[in-house]
């Protein structure tokens, strides 16, 4: 029986503001999510091609049928058997560039054309595209993109941000702490023993923990300065466990760090 191949347009989906975000997700984000692809479509398929603005950047080989998400109503979980990030993005044929946010069947012929194109020799145009992409990916580029992503309130990230913030607030309420939310651009804050406590929330489903931490540090320092609160305690709250070096770095500059532990379903301060 012929396999089913679907192409999805990921622009504005799951927090993908640009093609670099999507490529980072295919390469690293899906690994952090334990090879479970969360999406709003319930299509039985064997391969999912991920595209942005009509250009394919990689694909997931899927095993089994999607199952309803336990965390997000209307979402479905696909079990990814294998991921492939294309070294060179491939422009889709015209018929596959539009109305693909909800998925469109891709012919075997088109899929093979994509595989051959991204694996073949590099044209001058391809070389220029890759060079421009690498130039955009400077050491600080992801942090800058994420800064705009969260600070400017891009809607595509709000579901992830709000979900983590709601969990954290519930965690505080369980300790009889009643915080304020989204006041003076501060995600969460409260006062304890006459000391202000400022918290910056950073989901990490689609970004490495180090980038989330970088963005949060600048925002917290700005909050403390603008609110004339030099003694305020600053704490970063992220969606997954940070690396030991990241923990040491945050401690070295006098900030606190808390993460959501998926196994225990609670927050852990480190």
- Domains of the chain (ranges; CATH) run 5-137 (no CATH), 144-269 (3.40.1350.10)
pLDDT of 102 reads 80
pLDDT of residue 103: 84
pLDDT band of 139, cuts 50, 70, 90: very low
Q: Is the pLDDT of residue 156 over 80?
A: no
Interval 126-146 mean pLDDT: 50
Q: What is the mean pLDDT of the chain?
A: 83
State residue 265's pLDDT score.
Answer: 93
Task: Please give the DSSP secondary-structure letter assigned to residue 39.
Answer: E
Instruction: Kindly indicate the confidence band of residue 269, based on its pLDDT and cuts at 50, 70 and 90.
Output: very high
Measured between alpha carbons, how far apart are the two ends of the chain, in Å? Answer: 52
Q: Is the pLDDT of residue 134 over 70?
A: no
Question: Which has the minimum average pLDDT: 2-16, 23-37, 56-70, 197-211?
Answer: 2-16
Q: Contact 48/59 with Cβ under 8 angstroms? A: yes
Kindly report, residue by residue over 72-84, the tens digit of the pLDDT. 778 889 999 999 9
Give the residue, 46 or 15, on which the prediction is more confident. 46
Residue 14 banded pLDDT, cuts 50, 70, 90: low
In tens, the pLDDT along 98-119 reads: 877 788 999 999 999 999 887 6
More confident residue, 158 or 215: 215
Q: 33 pLDDT band (50/70/90 cuts)?
A: confident
Say whether pLDDT at 122 is over 80.
no
- Please state, in angstroms and rounded to a whole number, the distance separating the CA atoms of residues 103 and 107: 13
* pLDDT, position 42: 85
Task: Annotate 64-122 with three-state secondary structure.
Answer: EEEEECCCCCCCEEEEEEEEEEEEEEEECCHHHCCCCCCCEECCHHHHHHHHHHHHCCC
Q: What is the pLDDT of residues 222-267, one digit of tens each?
A: 999 999 999 999 999 999 999 999 999 999 999 999 999 999 999 9
Percentage above 90 pLDDT, the chain? 50
The side-by-side arrangement of strands in the sheet containing 104-105 is 36-39, 76-91, 55-68, 47-52, 5-9, 104-105
Tell me the C-alpha distance between 8 and 104, whole Å.
7
The dihedral region occupied by 251, where left means phi > 0, alpha psi between -120 and 50, and beta the remainder, is alpha
């Amino acid at each position: 029986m012929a396999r089913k191949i679907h192409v999805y347009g990921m622009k504005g989906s799951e927090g993908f503001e640009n093609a670099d975000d999507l490529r980072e997700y295919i390469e690293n984000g899906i690994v952090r999510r334990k090879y479970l692809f969360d999406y709003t479509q319930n299509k039985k398929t064997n391969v999912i091609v991920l595209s942005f603005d009509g250009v394919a950047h990689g694909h997931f080989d899927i095993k089994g049928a999607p199952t309803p998400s336990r965390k997000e109503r209307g979402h479905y979980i696909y079990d990814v058997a294998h991921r492939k990030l294309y070294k060179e993005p491939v422009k889709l044929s015209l018929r596959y560039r539009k109305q693909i946010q909800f998925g469109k069947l891709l012919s075997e012929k088109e899929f093979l054309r994509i595989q051959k194109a991204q694996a073949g020799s590099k044209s001058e145009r391809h070389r220029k595209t890759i060079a421009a992409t690498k130039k955009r990916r400077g050491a600080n580029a992801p942090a800058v993109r994420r800064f705009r992503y969260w600070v400017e309130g891009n809607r595509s990230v709000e579901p992830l941000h709000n979900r983590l913030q709601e969990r954290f607030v519930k965690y505080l309420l369980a300790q009889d702490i009643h915080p304020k939310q989204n006041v003076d651009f501060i995600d969460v804050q409260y006062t304890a023993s006459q000391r202000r406590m400022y918290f910056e929330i950073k989901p990490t489903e689609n970004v490495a923990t180090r980038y989330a931490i970088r963005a949060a540090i600048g925002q917290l320092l700005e909050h403390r300065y603008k609110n004339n609160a030099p003694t305020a305690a600053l704490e970063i709250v992220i969606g997954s466990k940070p690396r030991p070096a990241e923990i040491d770095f945050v401690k070295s500059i006098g900030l606190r760090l808390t993460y959501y532990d998926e196994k225990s379903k609670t927050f852990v301060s480190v």
